[in-house]
Structure 1
């Protein structure tokens, strides 16, 4: 994550009171961050076009023709490097997976008001972890945990290192293979045929959405890239 003093965070939420509550919770977790607010899809696009936004908390249901998912598509189609976390009143598993598949790197249900769960979800996101509700965590051979874990397991401890760790970082930012390849200065096929399958094997999954859910389920910490990492060459780094 960017230094908290430099973080710019956008909150897209059509309800003013909910937006204000989100703003205060974010200030508790990141007191030095710059917080932008938007009440509609159009407001959010204006904010995104005005300057860099590191994190965007996006309400799914905006009570208008455009939804939060439309803004997520806007971000990914233009390869805007904003880490997007969806907010919704629904924790239905398919909706969570649809958002992850569209490029979200987290999903927080709005009803997580008890026992500080919403604040814990924010803390997970700000630590660089992936947060998804427990409803999305059950998969073949695994049961959902009783609660979503805080990030605690370094990705390196699972055997993810070098350029493979870079790819995992970018996947957790919601970037598509083409954008990842451009950043790492390699062919897209190298990402798709080499690094991504290796990560799938490590996490015992077969899809990108499953990978993100598994990162969340295990509480894996994916560290930010060191300064200058994006300037690496095709020959740089290990696997």
Structure 2
């Protein structure tokens, strides 16, 4: 997640006071981040069409027909590789899983009881890990026991190109985009790397894989070529 350049961040939130508070907290965690704010679907899409963002924080529940989830779907349909974290006051598991299935790589509740919890969520995201609500990574997680070494990818039997594929999957990218970034055929991602990763984490779906990575607190190493990729 880290690079030599400051992070470019898109913040979509239709309530001005809430947006200002979120911006302030983001700047506490990432003082050098370049943050662009918007309050609607149309504004977010316009910003994304004119600028590449490393991370987008998208409020799901906008007071318009189009939601933050629609912005996420737009980004993925246009092959944008922006890492997307959803913001919501709702914590229902089906809502979180729908967002993950659409390509989100994080979900933060806006009604957390204090700023400290929200800051810890942001820290998790900026460290390159995945933050999900407790009701998703707790009792409903997909592995019966915790990882023997939380935060470590050792022992998974993954290295090299498999870890690259895992990194991109955790960013919510579709197979086509992952294949292009890795310089291989899309079929290789679908038939080789994805099944191998599912076996390693003992899951059956992408959504389950993302949840399991979040539950273990894993930070997947950034592929070397990402550090040199222009924004």
Task: State TM-score, norm by structure 2.
Answer: 0.91
Change (3 A) 1:141 1:129: closer
Write out aligned runs for 1:30-179 (5 A). Answer: 30-114=30-114, 116-137=116-137, 138-139=140-141, 142=144, 153-179=151-177
3-state SS in 1 of match to 2:19: helix
Q: CA deviation at 1:159?
A: 2.3
1:204 aligns with 2:211: no
Root-mean-square deviation (CA), in Å?
A: 2.1
Aligned to 1:130, what secondary structure does the other structure show?
coil
Indicate how the Cα distance of structure 1 residues 31 and 153 shifts in structure 2: closer, same or farther if over 3 A, else same: same
Cα distance in 2 for partners of 1:18, 1:115 equals 12
Specify the SS of the correspondent of 1:81: coil
Which runs of 5 or more structure 1 residues have no equivalent in the other structure? 146-150, 232-239
3-state SS, counterpart of residue 35 of structure 2: strand
Aligned residue-pair number: 225
- 1:122-164 C-alpha deviation (Å, 9 max, x unpaired): 0010000011101112145638x9xxxxx95232442221000
What is the deviation of 1:21? 0.5
After superposition, give the CA deviation of every residue in 1:59-104 in whole Å (9 maximum; x if it has no partner).
0001101001100000000011110000000010011000000000
Q: Say which SS state the counterpart of residue 190 (structure 2) adopts.
A: helix
TM value normalised by structure 1 = 0.88
Q: Which residue of 1 aligns with 2:214?
A: 216
1:37-73 Cα shifts (integer Å, max 9, x gaps): 0011111112111211110000000110100110000
